[in-house]
Amino acid sequence: MRHFLARGLPLAIASLVAIAPLDAQSLTPQQQFAKEIYRELLEINTSNMTSGTTPAANAMAKRFRDAGFPEQDIFLGGVRPDKHNLVVRLHGKGGANAPKPLLLLAHIDVVEALKSDWSPDLDPFKFLERDGYFYARGSADDKSMAAIFVANLIELKTSGYVPDRDLIVALTADEEGGCCNGVRWLIQNHRELVEAAMVINEGGGGSLRKDQPFLNSIQATQKNSINFKVTAKNRGGHSSVPRPDNAIYELAEGLARFSKFSFPVHFNAVTRAFFEKTAAVETPEMGRAMRALLANENDASAATVVSRDARYNSMLRSTCVATMLSGGHAANALPQTAEVGINCRILPDAVPSEIRAGIAKAFADTALEVSAASERQYVEPSSIGREIMGPVEQVTKELFGNIPVIPTMSTGATDSQPFRQIGIPAYGVSGIMSDPEDNRSHGKDERMRIKSFFDGKEFLLRLTKLLATTQTVP
């Protein structure tokens, strides 16, 4: 199949098939090729803590070489031999006034997965197709987009397509954590490889309701992650002579107070747009509460209603949650230290020192020490103007009908943030539809709806071609 594609297939074939049949016998050659790439990526263990990305990066580099990409347009490298990133360029028309490239970004590292933690008939690093889903670690996060970008760039190359601007695919390491974040390393050491007018990345996607596309989202900003420690200290003593001033008790009492604490509601441009559009498609009660809260951030009754949904609550405010707990040093000794780790996901414009002060206020015990393990700078959200919203809305309508495209803020972290820090707009958008109640990323039996994978491939192919024109992106 690879050799057939390398000779080139008319791109018109793909454009005629918006949502193609999905059984093995009726897949288009382009879809079959994408599935083969997906399978290959998923069956290479790229766990961020115990494995590397280099074998996967090398495998994809071979795919590009076999498709006729010249060696000078293929870059492999990283801070460590086992943590290589892959950057591949498809040249556009060029010229003195050539616009900056479009960067298609996906990480190929995955979080750890043990076979013993998955269902007995599943192996996290064996590709399985069953009951309308693809199963494997990384099937959703983020090897689906990686496989799609590789397949689409090869398809464009072999069809003879020449974009107005260069197209770049970057497959990177350690987005999930670890020593060697690939995006930051590329920006610091090879910025010329990833310099772009715009970045398309993970972080967005569509939602299904009763197995039908309901909305599509575009991520334009994200929360920052900061870890705090809250520590109780005591002189200790022998457990046979207990005292009321116990470090564990003191910390536990503070934690009980902290569990009832919430930061105030605060909207930014992206979350305001999100709730404005979401209110129109929510239940009447939830829609009314959203509109009331948009009109008045201090409307406590409206905030209570909206906050019942954990996803909405996380977008309304900075959030902090206790995630790790330790205390004591011996079974027969009064504890000298008790400590809790607090993970905070703070709004992009939140001030870390104010978050620390809020935590201290919530624990309401001046004897407890609150310390920050990290500080993060404010990063301006990417603009949600027509240069991005127009193309995304157009392709969404073509493939999924009249569903809304809703700007959103990621409450997790993505590698879009380093690009925003250097002034390059970055967006999470994929056209990959999923059930919000069936999010298995990072968890047991991670899976990707088969139809959604191929819909996402077509969506991203069409979006890439729109954004590759000088009329679309400045």
- The CATH number of the domain holding residue 141 is 3.40.630.10
Residue 77 has a pLDDT of 98
Predicted confidence band at 6 (pLDDT cuts at 50, 70, 90)? Answer: very low
Residue 404's closest CA among 228, 289, 277?
A: 277
- The CATH number of the domain holding residue 331 is 3.30.70.360
Specify the 3-state DSSP secondary structure of 253. helix
Does residue 391 form part of some domain? no
**First CA to last CA distance, the chain:** 37
Q: For residue range 310-345, list pLDDT tens digits in order.
A: 999 999 999 999 999 999 999 999 999 999 999 999
Amino acid of residue 418:
P
Check whether 30 has a pLDDT greater than 60.
yes
Specify the 3-state DSSP secondary structure of 114. coil
Question: What HEC string does 272-308 produce?
Answer: HHHHHHHHCCCCHHHHHHHHHHHHCCCCHHHHHHHHC
Helix (H), strand (E) at residue 467: helix 450-467
The residue segments making up the domain with residue 110 are 2-203+414-467
Check whether 244 has a pLDDT greater than 80.
yes
Q: Are residues 230 and 365 in the same domain?
A: yes
Distance CA 409, CA 141 (A): 17
Q: How many domains does the chain have?
A: 2
Q: Are residues 99 and 133 in the same domain?
A: yes
Q: Are 297 and 266 in contact (CB under 8 A)?
A: yes
Q: Are residues 187 and 252 in the same domain?
A: no
Residue 10 has a pLDDT of 33
Check whether 457 has a pLDDT greater than 80.
yes
Q: Are residues 421 and 275 in the same domain?
A: no
Distance CA 244, CA 252 (A): 13
Residue 159 has a pLDDT of 97
Distance CA 182, CA 185 (A): 5
Does residue 394 form part of some domain? no
* Among 372, 400, 426, residue at a domain's last position: 372
Does residue 103 form part of some domain? yes
Angle, vertex CA 186, rays to CA 53 and CA 471, nearest 5: 110
Q: Are residues 290 and 167 in the same domain?
A: no
Mean pLDDT calculated for residue range 259-278: 96
- Please list the alpha-helical segments (H only) found in 49-99: 54-66
Does residue 393 form part of some domain? no
Q: Are residues 234 and 301 in the same domain?
A: yes
Q: For residue range 57-74, list pLDDT tens digits in order.
A: 999 999 999 999 999 999
Does residue 396 form part of some domain? no
Mean pLDDT of the chain: 92
Q: Are residues 38 and 132 in the same domain?
A: yes
Residue 474 has a pLDDT of 55
Q: Are residues 296 and 430 in the same domain?
A: no
Q: Are 341 and 322 in contact (CB under 8 A)?
A: yes
Q: DSSP string of 153-197?
A: HHHHHHTT---SS-EEEEEES-TTSSS--HHHHHHHH-HHHH--S
Q: Are 416 and 427 in contact (CB under 8 A)?
A: yes
Strands 212-222, 205-209: pairing kind: antiparallel
Check whether 378 has a pLDDT greater than 50.
yes
Check whether 453 has a pLDDT greater than 70.
yes
* Among 343, 372, 401, residue at a domain's last position: 372
Q: For residue range 170-180, list pLDDT tens digits in order.
A: 999 999 989 99
Global pTM reads 0.88
Specify the 3-state DSSP secondary structure of 54. helix
Q: Are residues 197 and 229 in the same domain?
A: no
Predicted confidence band at 25 (pLDDT cuts at 50, 70, 90)? Answer: low
Residue 432's closest CA among 275, 131, 217?
A: 217
Dihedral sign, CA of 294, 300, 302, 306? Answer: positive
Does residue 22 form part of some domain? yes
Residue 412 has a pLDDT of 84
Q: Are residues 239 and 135 in the same domain?
A: no
Q: Are residues 131 and 192 in the same domain?
A: yes
- pLDDT > 90 in the chain, percent: 85
Predicted confidence band at 470 (pLDDT cuts at 50, 70, 90)? Answer: confident
- Please list the alpha-helical segments (H only) found in 280-403: 284-295, 300-307, 310-316, 352-363, 386-400
Does residue 406 form part of some domain? no
Mean pLDDT calculated for residue range 72-79: 97
Check whether 9 has a pLDDT greater than 70.
no
Does residue 389 form part of some domain? no
Residue 472 has a pLDDT of 63
Q: Are residues 167 and 241 in the same domain?
A: no
